[in-house]
Structures are given as structure tokens and as C-alpha cells.
Amino acid sequence: MLEDKEFKAFFSRDAAEVAPDMIGWNFFVNGVGGTIVETEAYNRLDPASHSFKGLSKQNRSMFGSPGCAYVYRIYGLHWCMNFVCSDASAVLLRAIVPIKGVQQMQERRRTNDLITLCSGPAKLTQALGIAGALDGVSLNTSPFEFEPRQQIPLISCGARIGISRAVEVEWRFWLSDNPFVSRSSARRINGSNRRHHVSR
DNA sequence: CCTACGATCCCCT
DNA sequence: GGGGATCGTAGGC
């Protein structure tokens, strides 16, 4: 866990900068979780972002303090988890490698398949027990826990998934050649828009 | 392998 | 009344 000041500074940047920097971190909720391997960035100038049209009832956490959670319900069924960054930008958590509390995750997800246990934004919230009650909560306090990465991994970037606007913006980031991301690497391996991202 | 579709809720237009 | 930062399953090739 980081000191409060360091933690705040880390998230007080645009999500497009923070999103690749989160790849390789460990993230836990009540001790359950694993390694972040896929993220996406959304910001206020971005037509695909919930914050694009300004403050509203359902996106208010996105306009809150950097370093807090923005949890929203999608399609009336699932929950998605974001890390709030500066100026109403946020990092969508899209996939993690299950490390701790695997049995509990398998029970919540009703599957034993490790590859698909947390390979999607709504799968991982179900596995980690994230729901609307955690919307707006500071990420630097219980039940959340972070472990920064020890070295900078090789990261790929490409177009974001499941959006209808600003589809060409390449703000999806993933750990290169990792099988736990939400879309299989086999499908993407010959893709023309696959490229490596230069990280700090 | 791929595409299509239904489930289900709430805010916004 | 529309539509969404999704998922699982069904069915075709």
C-alpha cells in the first residue's frame, strides 16, 4: 500500500496516463483479487466517456476525488469498476489474473475455469465482490488493497471494446501476450492495429 | 471458429 | 422510450 500523498499523486493524472501504469499492479478487495492485466481509459473530452456530457446523478463519482472508486451498473445486470483520475477521467478495470481467494472467486462466479474467472469488466466485479455499495469509496482504504508493480512490463494498446463513439481511440491497454485478458490473444495476434505502448 | 440474441435496470432525452 | 464501457448460451459454418 502506498502513502496517502503518493497514492493521491499517482491518480491525479489523466486516465490515459494512469491506465497503462496500472498494468502489473496487484489489486484486492477484502483480500481477494490478483494482477491487473487489462485496462481502458476514459476522459471528459472523450465522447465514449460517461463524463463527456457533464455531471449527472449516475456519474457523480467520476467527478469526485482522484483515487476513489467509480462503480456503475451496466445493461441493468452487471457492475463495472473504475479508478477515478484527474478531471473526471477514469480507468476501467477489464481483466485480472486470479491470485488470492481463488476458491471464493470460483464460488461467486459459479465456474472453476481460471482463464475466464476475471477476464472481463463484469466478470471481475462479480469475482471480487464489487457492487454499487463501493461506489465513491477511497481506493486507499479497506476493503481495497494495492501492490505496485515491481518492474515495467511489456504492454500493448489498441481500440477500446464495446463502445459506439470514439472507436478509433487506442486507450485499451493490456499485458502483452497474456492469456487472462478479456479477448483472446489468438484472435488478436495477427491484428493490424496491434502495437506496443511505450510506458514510463 | 464465428455471429446473434436475450436478460434486465435506471437515468437521460 | 432509447440505449448502454456485458455475459452466457445457442446455433451455424
Could you tell me if residue A64 is inside a domain?
Answer: yes
Q: Looking at strand C, which nucleotides approach a protein CB closer than 7 A?
A: 3-8
Residue A127 belongs to domain spanning = 4-190
Q: What is the pLDDT of residues A152-185, one digit of tens each?
A: 999 999 999 999 999 999 999 999 999 999 975 4
pLDDT at A94 over 80: yes
The answer on pLDDT for A200 being more than 90 is no
pLDDT digits (tens, 9 = 90+) for A17-39: 999 999 999 999 999 999 999 99
- pLDDT, chain A, mean: 92
Predicted local confidence at residue A184, as pLDDT? 55
C-alpha pair distances (Å), A71 with each of A80, A114, A122, A126, A151: 6, 24, 11, 12, 28
**pLDDT at residue A188 tops 80:** no
Q: How far is the CA of A53 from the C1' of B11 (A)?
A: 13
Selection from A17, A13, A10 nearest residue A157 by Cα: A17
- The full DSSP string for A98-129 is EEESHHHHHHHHT---STTTS-SHHHHHHHHT
- Residue A14: all three cell numbers together: 489523466
Q: Note the pLDDT of residue A193.
A: 36
Cell 490473444, located at residue: A185
Residue that has been written with the C-alpha cell 469498476 in this structure? A81
Check whether A186 has a pLDDT greater than 50: no
pTM for the predicted model, two decimal places = 0.92
Please check whether residue A157 lies inside any domain of the structure.
yes
Asked if the structure places residue A40 within a domain, the reply is yes
Length A122 CA → C4 C1' (Å): 14
What is the domain count for chain A?
A: 1
Is A10 within the bounds of a domain?
Answer: yes
CATH number, position A119: 3.10.300.10
Whether pLDDT at A73 is above 50: yes
Give the pLDDT mean for A129-153.
97
At A10, give phi and psi (nearest 5°): -60, -45
User: Between β-strands A78-84 and A195-197, what pairing exists: parallel, antiparallel or unpaired?
Assistant: unpaired
A200 inside domain = no
Is residue A189 scored above 50 in pLDDT?
Answer: no
Q: From the Cβ of A75, is strand B under 7 Å away? A: yes
Give the pLDDT confidence score for residue A87 in this predicted structure.
97
Give the pLDDT score at A183.
79
The answer to the question of residue A197 being in a domain is no
Q: Has residue A199 been placed in a domain? A: no
Q: What is the dihedral of CA A181, A183, A188, A194, to 10 degrees?
A: -60
Residues A19, A170 contacting (CB under 8 angstroms): no
What's the CA A111/C1' C9 distance, rounded, in angstroms?
A: 15
